[in-house]
Amino acid sequence: MNAAGNPSNKKSNPDASAKGEREFIRRLAAELGPGTGPVGFGNDLAALEPVAGGLLWSTDMLMDGVDFESGKHAWRDIGRKAMAVNLSDCAAGATVPVAALCAVALNDQLSMDDALELFRGVRDCGAEYDCPITGGDTNSWAQPTVICITVAARPDADRPSVTRGGARPGDRIYLTGRVGGSLLGRHMQPTPRILIALDINRQLNPRAMIDISDGLAIDLWHICESSGCGATIDEKSLDNVVHPDAERLARKTGKPPREHALYDGEDFELIVVVAGDAPADACRRLGLLPLGEITVEHKLMLRQGDGRRSPLEIRGWEHFRA
Amino acid sequence: MNAAGNPSNKKSNPDASAKGEREFIRRLAAELGPGTGPVGFGNDLAALEPVAGGLLWSTDMLMDGVDFESGKHAWRDIGRKAMAVNLSDCAAGATVPVAALCAVALNDQLSMDDALELFRGVRDCGAEYDCPITGGDTNSWAQPTVICITVAARPDADRPSVTRGGARPGDRIYLTGRVGGSLLGRHMQPTPRILIALDINRQLNPRAMIDISDGLAIDLWHICESSGCGATIDEKSLDNVVHPDAERLARKTGKPPREHALYDGEDFELIVVVAGDAPADACRRLGLLPLGEITVEHKLMLRQGDGRRSPLEIRGWEHFRA
């Protein structure tokens, strides 16, 4: 790990009572162990093994007070989440994670032990998907902690990776699980849907996929925007994908559970778009939940039981913005 | 760009008066233009073209108030620096940059125009080395701005990349330029030494290289640690690599200019270690400045004109830590 930075005011030591960044990196490299290649920690560059067909990569930044609360959540869980949301991007593309880099700006009051716990969480979550941390950048500062992970992934065997942009009118929309109310706790324990994504890609030849980070409505809209189409959600199907947490949260907020399903984020389930003639039995076997269909009209609509359609608001996190 | 995050308090919009993150990303994608591949902005994953022999990658995080001062520096220059320090890591490995990802946590008072200026700086610096931004992650928050760039690079033609770990006793140490006093302004305008690094790799078969981010002494020591050896700097050679800025700064600080050359950081010149029998005329033609030699003894030493040797303090940014 290098520590480029202005030396006049940089505090790269996450624990002023300890022996500084070099000691931290030494302990880190020891902890992260065999996953770290010959070039990796302690070098400017880490190796990425050649992959026929090329790699894909993605980066996600998490901030204390925004994506996690260090006063409330354990550092190991915070580390796990930071890796999981990155792996969720790999899942959205139906790709297989290969390796990760982890850069941090640690609050300078953080102890070295807590900093190591953070990295252990990152490592543990990555290890579950054979995705070692092969390098990174350690910094500290007087502000809240920031974690930025970059993941490289490869396509699965002979299957192409999946983007947001391939949906066509008449395609069917599914979810890998129920959504809403993640704030009750699930938002800190996301499971990247990598395994199911690979199965979906092998069996259903999906047209488009995305993971639900900002909310069902807005992330479905991202598919519509990338694909140049619209989408209609069936009311009955929508009620069927409402997570029990959305119902529990609804009792607190007084909003309809459906609102939480549509507009809460951080579920990290996948929206899966397949051709209209994709085998319905395979969809069932994979546990996919039907939601609606892709339309020509560039709008997001809700279709009631009687067939009448009304426009759905397109918002997610934007609802909460300043 | 995805915006994974807790939707309940996330402010992903860098300018609340504008149309939010989607509008920002649209403008960004338009600005960054042809460099952005088919999957890139507006997708979870960006493509990395296959490269025979594999890729290398590196990540660097810069924080407002630490690596730059947003109240003092132009956002375009800040963006340039963020990319340059990453490209400097590519130079240290004598590699050719291929593509970059840029994740940001923007202070929520930043205007969209300033945010675009930041990305323009990143883009401009990358473009000089054929390194497009192919994706990233945009966030905003109430804290100071953080920029995290990840760069992928490839080895140069048939030349292997260079690490910190190959120095051997008897090897000679060179610098690509004079060092010290970068705080007078050069620290905000680093030039990644990619072109000279490739020439060095082709002509001199270097044993080890590193870029000087933390300071000459500590970065040379990083080579010693990775290579399991020590180094001796010749006093006369040291005086010869003192940058004029180190002399100017010394007049302000009252320290010897040599101190600034040894312990200031952010020069982003390269330390180059070559075999003892490497052609001296080629070193001269490349403009390399001799500094000393690699030793068996695991220490950093200064050799005076009369041959007497005294230990050099190993410190860089650590000097300044809390």
Searching chain B, which residue's CA lies closest to the CA of residue A182? B6
The minimal CB distance from A8 to the residues B88, B144, B320 is found for B320
Q: Under a CB-based contact definition with an 8 Å cutoff, are residues B209 and B215 in contact?
A: no
In this prediction, the residues of chain B whose per-residue pLDDT falls under 70 are 1-19, 33-44, 50, 316-322
Q: Under a CB-based contact definition with an 8 Å cutoff, are residues B3 and B12 in contact?
A: yes
The token duo for B307 is 């041959």
pLDDT at B40: 46
pLDDT at A105: 95
Q: How high is the ipTM of this complex? A: 0.89
- Return the closest-CA partner of residue A182 out of B7, B37, B251, B311: B7
- Return the closest-CA partner of residue A146 out of A112, A103, A113, A108: A103
pLDDT at A315: 82
**Which fold does the domain B20-155 belong to in CATH?**
60s Ribosomal Protein L30; Chain: A; (3.30.1330)
The token duo for B304 is 């005076």
pLDDT at A191 over 70: yes
Show which of residues 230-269 on chain B sit within 8 Å of chain A, judged by CB atoms. Answer: 263-266
pLDDT at A321: 41
Rounded distance between C-alpha atoms, residue B93 and residue B161, angstroms: 5
User: Containing H/E element for B274?
Assistant: strand B270-274
What is the domain partition of chain A in residue ranges?
Answer: 20-155, 172-316
Kindly report, residue by residue over A140-156, the tens digit of the pLDDT: 999 999 999 999 999 99
Rounded distance between C-alpha atoms, residue B233 and residue B291, angstroms: 6
The minimal CB distance from A322 to the residues B54, B108, B214 is found for B108
pLDDT at A62 over 90: yes
pLDDT at A259 over 60: yes
- How close does chain A come to B281, measured CA to CA in Å? 29
CB-based contact (8 Å) between A11 and chain B? yes
pLDDT at A13: 40
Is A321 close to B210, i.e. CB distance below 8 A?
A: no
pLDDT band at A38 (very low <50, low <70, confident <90, very high): very low
Is B57 close to A8, i.e. CB distance below 8 A?
A: no
Average pLDDT over residues A267-290: 96
For residues B102-138, one letter each, b for 16 or more C-beta atoms within 10 angstroms of the residue's C-beta and e for the rest, the string is: bbbbbbbebebebbbbbbbbbbebbeebebbbbbbbb
Average pLDDT over residues A277-291: 96
Rounded distance between C-alpha atoms, residue A10 and residue A12, angstroms: 6
- How close does chain A come to B321, measured CA to CA in Å? 5
pLDDT band at A233 (very low <50, low <70, confident <90, very high): very high
What residues of chain B lie within 8 A of the CB of A143, using their CB?
A: 63, 65, 143-144
pLDDT at A44: 66
pLDDT at A73: 96
pLDDT band at A43 (very low <50, low <70, confident <90, very high): low
What residues of chain B lie within 8 A of the CB of A144, using their CB?
A: 143
Is A45 close to B57, i.e. CB distance below 8 A?
A: yes
- Return the closest-CA partner of residue A87 out of A266, A211, A215, A218: A211
With H, G, I as helix, E, B as strand and everything else as coil, classify residue A218. helix
pLDDT at B249: 95
CATH ID of B172-316, from 3.30.1490.20, 3.50.50.60, 3.90.650.10, 3.40.640.10:
3.90.650.10
Q: Under a CB-based contact definition with an 8 Å cutoff, are residues A219 and A266 in contact?
A: no
